[in-house]
Amino acid sequence: MSKILVIIPTFNELENVKKIIPAVLEQNEQIDVLIIDDNSPDKTGDYVEELSKQNQRVKIIRREKKLGLGTAYIAGFKYALQNNYDFVFEMDADFSHDPKEINNFLNAIKDADVVLGSRYINGVRVLNWPMRRLLLSYFASVYTRIITGLPVKDATGGFKCFRIDVLKAIDLDRIKSNGYSFQIEMTFKAFKKGFRIKEIPIVFMDRVKGKSKMSKKIVREAVLMVWKLRLRSIIGRL
């Protein structure tokens, strides 16, 4: 039986985690949920810690301050490696990623090493986003594909599943990016190491509760990161 870990970073997501955790756990009895909480003022961490005492499938890592999405996932990946999981998911807390898609990922990864939930295959599958943000996301993926040669339609998406062998092969301590650029960097490094990458269509629903963590800094970081990745690939420093 495979051990599956779903990593969900949180910052002020109390109302969402109350619903997302049971929704994820009910998809597959092999799933554990790991919440990475960045000292949420709304007491998300306190709630999850109490829940973890009642349910051994709920795990939590509490951090002292807001340290960013990328570092949260790195902490989760290291936890997965230390605890011998077979498959590891990245997932948002706000239901923009539908828990009902999890089993589709697990089916797809039977003949892949990384499965990406794509908003941009079989049309544009994004609901309730303003046009400006939709265009930014779409053309960020086009830009990434042109600069790096990464053969995916949705390079910045955050709903993903990795075989543990992928995480073992990537030097996680050298991953320094956050936000969009973190998603690009992880997929690009997996691609360059020869792992099989597969995209499956998902519908992305913008959050109903809570506040988006998107910022201009995250966008700038992604713009620069694709050039860094291309250069490092050329000189063999990935």
Tokens of 36: 């990475």
- Judge whether residue 23 has pLDDT over 80: yes
Q: What is the pLDDT of residues 154-192, one digit of tens each?
A: 988 899 999 999 999 999 999 978 777 899 999 999 999
Sequence-distant (6+) residues with CB within 8 A of 235 are none
The alpha carbon of residue 167 and the mean position of all alpha carbons in its chain are separated, in whole angstroms, by 13
Stretch 30-46: mean pLDDT, rounded? Answer: 98
Q: What CA–CA distance (Å, rounded) separates 70 from 105?
A: 21
- Judge whether residue 204 has pLDDT over 90: no
| Residue whose C-alpha is closest to residue 66's, from 38, 107, 96 | 38
